[in-house]
Amino acid sequence: MTEPVIAVRGLTKSFGSLEVLKGIDLDLMPGEVLGVIGPSGSGKSTLIRCLNMMEIPTSGRFTFRGQEVTSRFRGKGARIGTGELRREVGMVFQHFNLFPHLSVLDNITKGPRLVRGQSRAEAEALALDLLAQVGLADKARAYPSHLSGGQKQRVAIARALAMKPVVLLLDEVTSALDPELVGEVLAVIRRLAEGGMTMVLVTHEMGFAADIASRVLFMEQGRIAEQGSADDILRNPRSDRLRGFLSRFHG
């Protein structure tokens, strides 16, 4: 039996008195593409941000490849720290968050050089290779302010991949894009899925989720309300609430 990459038990997260996640159990298996859908405020963004400890869970068990994770940057004893976790669990943000003072190439090589200790030559070779994969080989020397939204997001994906992560977390990565730019980003994600990358994606692109997700979670009010294969969840929803939620997207 294969071991889950990330296993979560009874995970809760509160901001002050507001409980956003109310007990999540989740196993993320290698090679799985997990789609997370749900209305805004359902906790899906908080959930994905807990998976690389960008938000520190309030309670619950969190293991990465069987190892428990502490909330501190450095691990202690058998438990690994958030720094070690985030090396292996990459994240792409809704608003790209590229480093505006660095060229595209430096955006991508900064992490591997600082965190993985790669040489400049090694890191740049990998970065150029990744830029070619996302179709931006000619933009290595450009600065983020000169890129379109779609190009920025593809650079952000390349930046995350440069760390050679085991898991990639994608938090509404097309939500801030003009509609005509969504396709180029989805194409990159599709290729990653076909290449066997383990991914969690929070998305409003239901058609896309149906296409590439091997499993879909429907979140509501801080809980996983329904889950199953993309077909089950998106094409044959059981609960009224999920049906209602989906109907707004088919409109």
Closest CA to 203 of 194, 193, 195, 144: 193
- 3, two tokens: 């071991």
CB nearer to other proteins: pick between 54 and 225: 54
Task: Name 118's Cβ contacts closer than 8 Å, sequence gap at least 6.
Answer: 109, 112, 126
> Is 76 a binder of other proteins (CB under 8 A)?
no
Using only the alpha carbons of the chain, give its radius of gyration: 18
Which two structure tokens, joined as six digits, stand for 101? Answer: 């003072």
Q: Does 98 bind other proteins (CB under 8 A)?
A: yes
Pick between residue 91 and residue 181 the one whose CB is nearest to other proteins: 91
How far apart CA 232 and CA 181 sit, in angstroms, is 29
Q: Which of 20, 48, 57, 86 binds other proteins (CB under 8 A)?
A: 86
Tokens of 192: 């990653």
Query: Residues near 78 by Cβ (< 8 Å), separated by ≥ 6?
Result: 67, 68
- Binding to other proteins, residues 205-244 (CB under 8 A): none
Alpha-helical regions (H) of the chain: 44-50, 82-88, 104-115, 120-133, 149-161, 179-194, 206-212, 230, 240-250
Q: Toward other proteins, which CB reaches closer, 147 or 206?
A: 147
Strand 33-37 and strand 59-64: pairing? unpaired
Query: Which of positions 44-63 make contact with other proteins (CB under 8 A)?
Result: 52, 54
Contact pick of 87, 139, 154, 215 for other proteins (by CB under 8 A): 87
Choices 25-33, 64-72, 82-90, 190-198; region in contact with other proteins by CB under 8 A: 82-90
CB of 116 to other proteins, least distance (A): 8
Q: How far is the CB of 207 from other proteins (least distance, A)?
A: 27
Question: Which of residues 83, 196, 207, 244 is near other proteins by CB under 8 A?
Answer: 83
Asked if 214 and 35 touch (Cβ cutoff 8 Å), the reply is no
**Which of the stretches 38-46, 60-68, 81-89, 200-208 binds other proteins when contact is defined by CB under 8 A?**
81-89
Positions in the binding site for other proteins (CB under 8 A): 52, 54, 73, 82-84, 86-87, 90-91, 93, 95, 97-101, 110-112, 114-115, 145, 156, 159-160, 162-163
